[in-house]
């Protein structure tokens, strides 16, 4: 089986590529160090390991199930423990190899998308510079030593937000780890610097977070959806205005549902989310970005 067609794709759900304009600078020193200025155009990418990540998760569950003690009741939540023990080293190493491969593919996928958007910009605008500020994975497991003991931090729906101490020896040692928190489609996104809060396990949100499930967002909300579509131009592989699609109610229905599921009213207010991060000293705002256009699958 080949997954070559996965490279350079956005994926579904809340994944996106967004061209943004820096609207506000809150921390001039950090923004200057990170080469950001008001009015600049930036790219934010949110995508991951796609189908490879899905199959990696299934394989890792299988690895854990295979070594689960016979006779014990299996966990209802299907979350299986994997011991770091000599007699289980083969399973342990397979687990981490699979996880690492998925993470590496996710990085490569984002890298390819970055090259692709740079190529588009160059074709339209001529030579332009597109420099990576930071690549921040989420939904992954990090090994960290705390109080002399080794622990594993699983950040599901969260990203790293290390402070200056955690970033010692890197280019971010004087400012903290870059934290990107996108809002809903069409709303502002924020760039922050991590403050290394141990009470939050050195973590921050990786997005505004949903206030409606995808199922709830698809149903009703007609007026909110109409206003959203009037004010924003969302680019997807399907153009609902194509003449050859006018009679394809089935395709148009699926297209509309996919857009409704990720519309702004389905998500929490991004400004309130950032205020919580600031109040609890999880991360400090550096800049706010506004969307120019959003590309979704």
What's the number of CA atoms in the CB half-sphere (13 Å) around residue 99? 18
The CA distance from 288 to 276, in Å, is: 15
DSSP letter at 172 equals T
Nearest residue to 133 (alpha-carbon basis) of 28, 45, 26: 45
| DSSP class per residue in 35-89 | T--TT-EEEEEE---HHHHHHHHHHHHHHHHHTSPTTSPPPTT--------GGGH
Please, what's the b/e burial string for 220-236 (b: 16 or more CB within 10 A of its CB; e: otherwise)? ebeeebeebbeebebee
Residues 239 and 245: beta-carbon distance below 8 Å: yes
Does 206 participate in catalysis according to the annotation?
yes
Q: How many residues does the chain have?
A: 297
3 in the Ramachandran plot: left (φ > 0), alpha (ψ -120 to 50) or beta? alpha
Cα separation values, 41 from 16, 18, 244, Å: 16, 10, 35
Relative to beta strand 283-295, strand 16-25 is antiparallel
Separation of alpha carbons 53 and 144, rounded Å: 23
Which of 46, 138, 206, 277 is catalytic? The answer is 206
Asked whether the CA dihedral 3, 4, 5, 11 is positive or negative, the reply is positive
CB 150 within 8 A of CB 143: yes
Phi first, then psi, for residue 227 (nearest 5°) are: -65, -40
**So which residues are the catalytic ones?**
206
């Amino acid at each position: 089986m080949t997954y070559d067609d996965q490279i350079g794709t956005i994926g579904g759900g809340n994944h996106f590529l967004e061209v943004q304009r820096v609207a506000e600078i809150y921390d001039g020193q950090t923004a200057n160090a990170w080469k950001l200025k008001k009015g600049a155009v930036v790219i934010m990418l949110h995508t991951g390991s796609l189908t490879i990540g899905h199959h990696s998760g299934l394989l890792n569950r299988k690895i854990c199930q295979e070594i689960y003690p016979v006779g014990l009741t299996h966990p209802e939540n299907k979350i299986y423990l994997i011991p770091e023990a000599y007699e289980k080293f083969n399973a342990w190493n397979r687990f981490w190899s699979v996880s690492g491969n998925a993470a590496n593919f996710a990085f490569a996928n984002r890298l390819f998308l970055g090259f692709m958007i740079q190529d588009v910009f160059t074709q339209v605008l001529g030579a332009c510079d597109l420099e990576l500020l930071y690549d921040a994975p989420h939904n992954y497991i990090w090994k960290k030593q705390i109080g002399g003991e080794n622990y594993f931090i699983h950040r599901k729906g969260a990203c790293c937000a290390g402070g200056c101490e955690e970033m010692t020896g890197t280019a971010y040692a004087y400012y903290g780890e870059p934290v990107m928190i996108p809002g809903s489609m069409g709303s502002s996104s924020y760039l922050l610097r991590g403050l290394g809060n141990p009470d939050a396990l050195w973590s921050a949100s990786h997005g505004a977070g949903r206030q409606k499930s995808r199922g709830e967002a698809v149903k009703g909300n007609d007026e909110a959806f109409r206003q959203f579509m009037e004010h924003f131009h969302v680019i997807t592989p399907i153009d609902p205005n194509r003449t050859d699609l006018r009679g394809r109610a089935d395709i148009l229905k699926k297209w509309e549902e996919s857009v409704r599921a990720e519309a702004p009213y389905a998500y929490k207010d991004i400004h309130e989310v950032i205020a919580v991060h600031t109040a609890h000293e999880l991360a400090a705002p550096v800049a706010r970005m506004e969307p120019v256009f959003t590309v979704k699958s």
